[in-house]
C-alpha cells in the first residue's frame, strides 16, 4: 500500500535513450496502466520500479522512500512476468511459498497464506504439480498467486495476459480487476493492448518512444486526447484523420479536404475561426460517421457524398471503408444499412465530435 | 540535480565493477593456471637440450635468449615424427570421411524411413556409444591376424570407422530429425525419392552438423592411442604420432628436448582445428554430451 | 506421406550395421565368452577364475581401487570446477576467451597431455635446481621436492589432476550452455521475491542445472572408468597407478593372458552398463 512516484527519470542503454524525462505519480491503491506500442519503454519503466534495471537519471519513490540503488529484494514489490517466470523445478506450492520462505515466515502461517492465495486464484487443487504440468492459463494464475501471497506494497504486472488465448484473456482481465478491488494494493500494469488499458485502468499513462504522452482516466483519454498519437492509439477501430483547410462558407465555417468538404456545426464554428485559411488535422471516430438513413437523433449535420470501398458486416454493426475524395475513412454504422461496395452514398459526419490537431506540433487544439 | 544523480549512478556502477574484482581475479588466475602446463611445453620445445635439462623453462626469458629449432629438426628426422605426422593424416582423414558417410545414410534411415524395429535398434546404438572398445580388442585383433591385416592402414580404418559410428549415427539422427518436417514431406509429395531428398535436401541443410561431426571424429582418431597401439602392432612405418610420442616417452623418458617438441608437433593440428572451428566443436560437444 | 520402401531403408543402414556387428557387437559377446578361459589361445575353460583373480589378487584390487579413486575425484573435481567456472565466467565480458582457454586441452591427445604433465611433475633430487613447475614451486616455498609420479600416496592424485585439467573444459562448456538456458526472467522473479544472489544460486540456478550436471557427471564417470592413455604414457600403471583399461592392455600384451584380459574388459563393461542404461532412459524420455 503505497504511492509510487517517478521523478524526471531517464533511462539509457548505451547511446540509446529508452525513457526520457519520465514523470508519473501513481496514487495509493490505484490501478495504473502503462500502455503504448511495443518497444516504447513500458517494461523498462516497470523494471526500474522493480529494481531490475538501474536508473540512469532521476528518482523513483515508493511511499516516501527513494529507491534508487535499492535492490529488488528490499523494495517490497511483487511482479508478474509476461513469461510467468515460474520456477520449473518447484511445485506450485513451493513456487507460491518461495518469497515467504525467504522471509522466514513460520510454517503454519506460510501454509495458510499459500492456501489462501491459491484459493483466490483457483489453483488450490494444483498445489502438488510442477509448472510443466500446467496449462498456460493455470501457469498465469500461479504467477499471480505467487505475487499476491506476500502482500506487497506495489504490485507490478508486465503484459500478464499476452500469452493467453483471446477468450481466456477477456475472462482473466475481469478477474484481475476484481483482485485489485479485493487487495486494495497499488497496481502498475503494463500492456500494449489499449482495450486492456481501457477496461481495467483507473488511470492510463500512454507512452510512445520513451515519452509519456498523456495520463488520465480511460474516458478522458478517449474524449480528450492531447495529441494525434493518443487519439490514434486509444479506441478501436482507430480514429480517422484527415487534413483539410478551414474556409469561410457563407457565414459559417467549413472544411475543404482533398476532394470533399464538410460543414462545421455552428457551436464549433467560433472555435475554428482563428484557423481560417490554414490546413489542420481533423480526427473523427468511426462511430461518429453515420448512414444518412440511421442518424441518431440530435445530429443535424448535412450529409457528405462519399464512395463505399469495402463493407465488413459484423452482425451488430457494419464497418464501411469509405473514400471521400482521396481521404480514406472508416465508419461504424447501423447494421440495417443498405450500402454496398462501389455505391456513391450520403453519410453524416458528426463534426460536433471532431478532434482538431495542429499539423506541426500534432497537439490537440482546444477551444 | 540530474547531473548529481547521474554521477551517483556512475559511482554505483564503479562500485559494482569493483565488487566483481574477486571474480575477475579468480577467473584470470585459473586461466593462467590452465595455460601454464602448455606454455611450459611450448617454451621448452624451443630451448637447447642442455638448458632444458638443467633449468626451468621460465628461466628462458632471462637474457641472453637462447632459442633453437634443433629439437624439432631432430624429432622430425631422426625420430620419425615427420613420417608419423603423415601416418596420422593417412589414418584420420579417410576414417573421418567413412564415418560421416556411413553414419549419414544410417542416420537418415533412423530419422525419416520406415524400418521395422527402428526405435528399438536405435536404442541399441545409443547404448553402444559408451561400450568401452576394450571389449572388442581381442576378437578384432584375432580377426585381423587371421586375415593378415595387422599393421595395415585398412585394418585401422575399418576398426576406427566402426568405433566412431554409434556416436556419429546418434548425433546425425538427432540433427536430421530436427529438420522441418514440412520441407521433406513437400518434397515427397512432389514425387522425390528418398535418395534425392537425402542428397539434395537433408545433406545440404546439415552441413554445419556434418562439419561438427567431422571435426569431432577427426580429432578423436587423430588423438587416439589405444586403437593404433593394438592394431598397428607397433610398426614404426605405420605408427601415428600418438604412438611415436608414447614410444619416445618410454625410450627417452627424460630427453625433454625431444619429448616437448614431439608432443607439440602432435598438438599443432588439433589446436589449429580447434581455434579455427571452435564453434562447430562446441556444437558437437553440446549435441552429443552423452559420448563417453 | 513417405514412400514405403523397406528395402531402400535396409540399404541405407546396411554398411553401418555390418561394421557395428563385426567390430562391436560380435566382439563384445565374444569377449564375454573368452573371459571364461585362460591362456594366450584361450583354450582352457576356467569358469569364473579370471574374475576371482581380479577381485581378490592384491595387485588387481589396487587397480579397482584406482578406478574408484578416478571415478570419484576426477568426476567431482571436473564437475565442481566446471560449475564454478561457468557461474563465474558468466559474469565477465571476456567469457568466451576464458572458456576457450579452459577448453583447449580437450582438443589435444591424452598422450600429449601426459607428456605435458610429466613435464610439470619432473623431480630432481633436492641438491639440483628443479625444472618441473610443481617442484620449483615447492622449492620456492621452502619444501623438499616431491617425486609426484613415483610417490605411491600422491601419484594417483597427480594423474587425476592431469585428467581434470583436460576435462574441466567439457564440464564448463556444457554447464555454461545450461546456465544460459535459464530464462533471465526466472532469476529476476527470484530477485523480486526477495532472494539474494547466494540464495538464487542455491535455490534456483543449481536445481535448474540438475539435469545438465547429471549428463556431465555421467559422461565424466564413464570417462573415468575408461581412462587409459594418461596412465599408459605417464606411468604404464607402475607405482600402484594401474587402472582397468591399462591392466587389460598389460594382460594382453605383457602377460599374454587373453582370458584374464577379457575378464578385465568385462568388469569395465559391467561398471559402465548402469550408466549406459541411464543414458538410454534419458534418451527415451527426451523423445
Ligand atoms: N538491456 C537492454 N539493452 C539495450 N536496449 C534495451 C534493453 N532493454 C530494452 N532495450 C530497448 O529499450 C526499448 C524499450 O524496451 P521495452 O521497455 O522492453 O519496451 P516495451 O514497451 O515493449 O516493454 C526497446 O527499443 C528495447 O530494444
Ligand atoms: Mg515489454
Query: Is residue A48 pLDDT above 50, yes or no?
Result: yes
Residue A335 has phi, psi (to 5 degrees) of -65, -15
Are both C2 and C76 inside the same structural domain? no
Q: Is the dihedral of CA C80, C86, C89, C95 positive or negative?
A: positive
Are both A260 and A196 inside the same structural domain? no
Flag if A72 and C192 touch (Cβ within 8 Å).
yes
What value does the mean pLDDT take over residues B151-169? 96
Are both A249 and A222 inside the same structural domain? no
Cα separation, C148 vs C138, in Å, equals 12
The CATH number of whichever domain residue A250 belongs to comes to 2.40.50.140
Are both A80 and A61 inside the same structural domain? yes
Q: Which residue, judged by its Cα, is nearest atom 3 of ligand 1?
A: A13
Angle, CA of A246, A222 and A7, to the nearest 5°:
105
Inter-helix orientation angle B118-128/B153-177, to 10° = 130
Inter-helix orientation angle C110-120/B256-276, to 10° = 130
Confidence band for B19, pLDDT divided at 50, 70 and 90 = low
Cα separation, A247 vs A38, in Å, equals 39
Q: Which of A12, A38, A43, A44 to mutate to test the pocket of ligand 1 (most atoms within 8 A of CB)?
A: A44
pTM: 0.88
Cβ B231 vs Cβ B206: under 8 Å: no
Query: Is residue B253 pLDDT above 90, yes or no?
Result: no
Are both A213 and A290 inside the same structural domain? no
B256/C contact by beta carbon, under 8 A: yes
Half-sphere exposure of B239 (CA within 13 A, CB side): 20
Q: Is the dihedral of CA A338, A341, A347, A350 positive or negative?
A: positive
Percent of chain A with pLDDT over 70: 99
- Select from C3, C22, C111 the Cβ nearest to the Cβ of B188: C3
Smallest Cα distance from A210 to chain B, Å? 18
Are both C5 and C144 inside the same structural domain? no
Q: Which residues contact A336 (CB under 8 A, 6 or more apart)?
A: A293, A294
B8/A contact by beta carbon, under 8 A: yes
**C235 DSSP assignment:** T
Q: Which residues of chain C lie closer than 8 angstroms to B84, CB-CB?
A: none
Q: In what order do the strands lie in the sheet with A186-191?
A: A77-80, A154-158, A186-191, A31-35, A203-208, A211-216
With respect to residue A36, please indicate whether it lies within any of the assigned structural domains: yes
Summarize pLDDT for A310-345 with one digit per residue, the tens: 999 999 999 999 999 889 999 999 999 998 889 899
* Interface pTM, i.e. ipTM: 0.93
Are both C195 and C98 inside the same structural domain? yes
With respect to residue A106, please indicate whether it lies within any of the assigned structural domains: yes
Summarize pLDDT for A84-96 with one digit per residue, the tens: 999 999 999 999 9
With respect to residue A228, please indicate whether it lies within any of the assigned structural domains: yes
Angle, CA of B232, B236 and B237, to the nearest 5°:
90
Cα separation, A222 vs A198, in Å, equals 9
- Select from C102, C105, C269 the Cβ nearest to the Cβ of B135: C269
Domain that holds residue C122: 35-286
Flag if B8 and A68 touch (Cβ within 8 Å).
yes
Are both C135 and C199 inside the same structural domain? yes
Residue B40, CA distances (Å) to A45, A230, B246, B273, C241 in order: 53, 68, 19, 21, 25
With respect to residue C168, please indicate whether it lies within any of the assigned structural domains: yes
Smallest Cα distance from C187 to chain A, Å? 8
Spans of all domains in chain B: 2-61, 78-290
Q: How far is CA C178 from the centre of its chain?
A: 21
- Atom index in ligand 1 nearest the CA of residue A45 equals 17
Are both C49 and C130 inside the same structural domain? yes
- Select from B27, B106, B138 the Cβ nearest to the Cβ of C88: B27
Element (H, E) at C37: strand C37-38
Q: Which residues of chain B lie closer than 8 angstroms to C266, CB-CB?
A: 135
Are both C18 and C134 inside the same structural domain? no
Percent of chain B with pLDDT over 70: 92
Are both A289 and A244 inside the same structural domain? yes
> Number of folded domains in chain C?
2
Query: Which one of A233, A252, A267 terminates a domain?
Result: A233
C44/B contact by beta carbon, under 8 A: no
Q: Which residues contact B128 (CB under 8 A, 6 or more apart)?
A: B166, C20, C24, C25
> Number of folded domains in chain A?
2
Q: Which fold has domain B78-290?
A: MetI-like fold (1.10.3720)
What value does the mean pLDDT take over residues A46-57? 95
Flag if A72 and C188 touch (Cβ within 8 Å).
yes
How many whole angstroms from A52 Cα to the centroid of ligand 1?
Answer: 13
> In whole angstroms, how large is the CA radius of gyration of chain A?
25
Q: Which residues contact A361 (CB under 8 A, 6 or more apart)?
A: A227
pLDDT in tens, chain C (287 residues): 454 557 888 999 999 999 999 999 999 999 999 999 998 888 889 999 999 999 999 999 999 999 999 999 999 999 999 999 999 999 898 999 999 999 999 999 999 999 999 999 999 999 999 999 999 999 999 999 999 999 999 999 999 999 999 999 999 999 999 999 999 999 999 999 999 989 999 999 999 999 999 999 999 999 999 999 999 999 999 999 999 999 999 999 999 999 999 999 999 999 999 999 999 999 888 87
A40 C-beta closer than 6 A to ligand 1: yes
Q: Which residue has the cell 495520463?
A: A215
Are both A323 and A195 inside the same structural domain? no
Flag if A87 and C190 touch (Cβ within 8 Å).
yes
Are both C48 and C3 inside the same structural domain? no
Confidence band for B283, pLDDT divided at 50, 70 and 90 = confident
Are both A190 and A274 inside the same structural domain? no
**Under DSSP, is residue A319 helix (H, G, I), strand (E, B) or coil?**
strand
Are both C166 and C217 inside the same structural domain? yes
Q: In what order do the strands lie in the sheet with A240-249?
A: A261-264, A252-256, A240-249, A279-284, A355-357
A259 C-beta closer than 6 A to ligand 1: no
Among the residue ranges A84-93, A287-296, B14-23, B145-154, the one predicted with the least confidence is B14-23
Q: Which residues of chain B lie closer than 8 angstroms to A55, CB-CB?
A: 5, 9
Are both A212 and A249 inside the same structural domain? no
The CATH number of whichever domain residue C115 belongs to comes to 1.10.3720.10
Domain that holds residue A260: 240-357
Element (H, E) at C232: helix C229-234
Are both C21 and C39 inside the same structural domain? no
The CATH number of whichever domain residue A20 belongs to comes to 3.40.50.300
How many whole angstroms from A18 Cα to the centroid of ligand 1?
Answer: 6
Flag if C192 and A89 touch (Cβ within 8 Å).
no
Q: Which residue, judged by its Cα, is nearest atom 8 of ligand 1?
A: A44
Are both C4 and C87 inside the same structural domain? no
Q: Which residues pair with A245 in a beta bridge?
A: A256, A279
Q: How far is CA A164 from the centre of its chain?
A: 18
Amino acid at each position: 500500500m503505497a504511492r509510487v512516484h517517478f521523478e524526471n527519470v531517464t533511462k539509457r542503454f548505451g547511446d540509446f535513450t529508452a525513457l526520457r524525462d519520465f514523470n508519473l505519480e501513481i496514487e495509493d491503491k490505484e490501478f495504473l496502466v502503462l500502455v503504448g506500442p511495443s518497444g516504447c519503454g513500458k517494461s523498462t519503466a516497470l523494471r526500474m520500479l522493480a529494481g531490475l534495471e538501474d536508473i540512469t537519471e532521476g528518482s523513483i519513490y515508493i511511499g516516501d522512500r527513494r529507491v534508487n540503488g535499492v535492490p529488488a529484494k528490499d523494495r517490497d514489490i511483487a511482479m508478474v512476468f509476461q513469461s510467468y517466470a515460474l520456477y520449473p523445478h518447484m511445485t506450485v506450492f513451493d513456487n507460491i511459498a518461495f518469497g515467504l520462505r525467504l522471509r522466514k515466515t513460520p510454517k503454519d502461517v506460510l501454509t495458510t497464506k499459500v492456501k489462501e492465495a491459491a484459493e483466490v486464484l483457483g489453483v488450490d487443487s494444483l498445489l502438488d504439480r510442477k509448472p510443466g504440468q500446467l496449462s498456460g492459463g493455470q501457469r498465469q494464475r500461479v504467477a499471480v498467486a505467487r505475487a499476491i501471497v506476500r502482500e506487497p506494497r506495489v504490485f507490478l504486472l508486465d503484459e500478464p495476459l499476452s500469452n493467453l488465448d483471446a477468450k481466456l484473456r477477456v475472462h482473466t482481465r475481469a478477474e484481475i480487476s476484481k483482485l485489485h478491488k479485493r487487495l486494495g494494493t497499488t497496481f502498475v500494469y503494463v500492456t500494449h493492448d489499449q482495450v486492456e488499458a481501457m477496461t481495467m485502468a483507473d488511470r492510463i499513462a500512454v507512452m510512445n518512444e520513451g515519452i509519456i504522452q498523456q495520463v488520465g482516466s480511460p474516458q478522458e483519454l478517449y474524449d480528450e486526447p492531447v495529441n494525434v498519437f493518443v487519439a490514434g492509439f486509444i479506441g478501436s477501430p482507430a480514429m480517422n484523420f484527415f487534413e483539410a483547410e478551414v474556409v469561410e462558407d457563407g457565414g459559417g465555417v467549413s472544411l475543404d479536404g482533398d476532394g470533399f468538404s464538410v460543414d462545421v456545426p455552428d457551436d464549433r464554428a467560433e472555435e475554428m475561426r482563428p484557423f481560417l485559411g490554414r490546413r489542420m488535422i481533423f480526427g473523427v471516430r468511426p462511430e461518429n460517421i453515420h448512414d444518412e438513413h440511421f442518424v441518431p437523433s440530435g445530429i443535424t449535420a448535412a450529409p457528405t457524398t462519399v464512395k463505399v470501398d469495402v463493407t465488413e458486416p459484423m452482425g451488430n454493426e457494419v464497418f464501411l471503408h469509405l473514400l471521400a475524395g482521396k481521404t480514406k475513412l472508416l465508419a461504424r454504422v447501423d447494421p440495417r444499412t443498405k450500402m454496398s461496395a462501389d455505391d456513391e452514398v450520403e453519410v453524416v459526419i458528426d463534426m460536433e465530435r471532431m478532434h482538431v490537431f495542429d499539423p506541426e506540433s500534432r497537439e490537440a487544439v482546444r477551444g | 540535480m540530474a547531473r548529481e544523480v547521474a554521477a551517483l549512478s556512475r559511482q554505483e556502477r564503479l562500485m559494482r565493477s569493483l565488487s566483481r574484482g574477486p571474480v575477475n581475479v579468480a577467473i584470470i588466475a585459473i586461466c593462467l593456471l590452465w595455460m601454464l602446463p602448455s606454455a611450459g611445453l611450448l617454451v621448452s620445445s624451443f630451448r637447447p637440450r642442455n638448458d632444458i635439462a638443467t633449468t626451468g623453462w621460465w628461466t628462458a626469458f632471462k637474457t641472453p635468449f637462447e632459442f633453437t629449432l634443433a629439437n624439432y629438426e631432430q624429432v622430425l628426422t631422426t625420430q620419425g615424427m615427420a613420417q608419423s605426422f603423415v601416418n596420422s593424416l593417412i589414418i584420420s582423414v579417410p576414417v573421418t570421411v567413412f564415418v560421416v558417410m556411413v553414419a549419414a545414410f544410417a542416420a537418415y534411415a533412423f530419422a525419416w524411413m520406415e524400418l521395422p524395429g527402428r526405435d528399438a535398434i536405435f536404442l541399441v546404438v545409443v547404448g553402444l556409444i559408451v561400450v568401452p572398445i576394450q571389449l572388442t580388442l581381442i576378437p578384432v585383433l584375432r580377426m585381423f591376424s587371421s586375415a593378415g591385416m595387422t599393421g595395415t592402414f585398412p585394418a585401422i580404418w575399418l576398426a576406427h570407422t566402426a568405433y566412431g559410428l554409434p556416436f556419429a549415427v546418434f548425433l546425425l539422427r538427432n540433427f536430421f530429425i530436427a529438420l522441418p518436417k514440412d520441407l521433406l514431406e513437400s518434397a515427397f509429395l512432389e514425387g522425390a525419392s528418398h535418395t534425392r531428398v537425402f542428397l539434395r535436401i537433408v545433406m545440404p541443410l546439415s552441413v554445419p552438423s556434418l562439419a561438427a561431426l567431422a571435426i569431432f571424429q577427426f580429432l578423436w582418431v587423430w588423438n587416439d592411442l589405444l586403437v593404433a597401439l593394438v592394431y598397428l602392432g607397433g610398426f614404426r612405418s605405420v605408427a601415428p604420432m600418438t604412438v611415436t610420442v608414447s614410444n619416445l616417452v618410454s625410450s627417452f623418458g627424460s630427453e625433454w628436448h625431444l619429448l616437448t617438441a614431439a608432443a607439440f608437433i602432435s598438438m599443432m593440428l588439433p589446436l589449429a582445428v580447434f581455434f579455427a572451428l571452435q564453434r562447430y566443436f562446441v556444437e558437437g560437444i553440446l549435441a552429443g554430451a552423452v559420448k563417453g | 506421406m513417405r514412400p514405403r520402401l523397406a528395402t531402400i531403408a535396409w540399404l541405407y543402414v546396411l554398411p553401418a550395421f555390418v561394421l557395428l556387428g563385426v567390430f562391436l557387437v560380435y566382439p563384445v559377446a565374444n569377449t564375454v565368452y573368452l573371459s571364461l578361459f585362460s591362456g594366450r589361445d584361450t583354450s582352457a575353460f576356467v569358469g569364473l577364475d579370471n574374475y576371482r583373480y581380479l577381485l581378490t589378487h592384491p595387485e588387481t584390487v589396487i587397480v579397482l581401487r584406482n578406478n574408484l579413486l578416478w571415478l570419484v575425484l576426477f568426476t567431482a573435481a571436473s564437475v565442481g570446477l566446471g560449475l564454478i567456472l561457468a557461474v563465474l565466467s558468466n559474469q565477465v565480458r571476456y567469457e568466451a576467451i576464458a572458456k576457450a582457454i579452459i577448453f583447449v586441452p580437450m582438443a589435444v591427445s591424452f598422450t600429449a597431455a601426459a607428456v605435458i604433465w610429466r613435464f610439470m611433475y619432473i623431480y630432481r633430487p633436492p641438491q639440483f635446481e628443479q625444472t618441473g613447475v610443481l617442484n620449483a614451486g615447492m622449492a620456492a616455498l621452502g619444501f623438499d621436492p616431491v617425486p609426484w609420479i613415483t610417490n605411491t600416496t600422491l601419484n594417483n592424485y597427480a594423474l587425476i589432476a592431469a585428467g581434470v585439467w583436460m576435462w574441466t573444459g567439457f564440464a564448463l562448456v556444457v554447464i555454461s550452455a545450461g546456465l544460459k538456458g535459464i530464462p533471465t526472467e526466472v532469476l529476476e522473479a527470484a530477485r523480486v521475491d526477495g532472494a539474494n544472489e547466494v540464495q538464487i544460486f542455491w535455490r534456483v540456478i543449481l536445481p535448474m542445472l540438475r539435469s545438465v550436471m547429471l549428463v556431465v557427471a555421467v559422461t565424466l564417470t564413464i570417462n573415468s572408468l575408461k581412462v587409459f592413455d594418461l596412465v599408459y604414457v605417464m606411468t604404464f600403471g607402475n607405482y600402484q597407478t594401474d587402472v582397468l583399461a591399462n591392466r587389460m592392455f598389460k594382460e594382453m600384451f605383457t602377460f599374454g593372458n587373453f582370458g584374464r584380459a577379457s575378464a578385465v574388459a568385462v568388469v569395465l563393461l559391467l561398471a559402465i552398463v548402469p550408466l549406459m542404461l541411464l543414458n538410454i532412459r534419458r534418451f527415451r524420455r527426451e523423445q
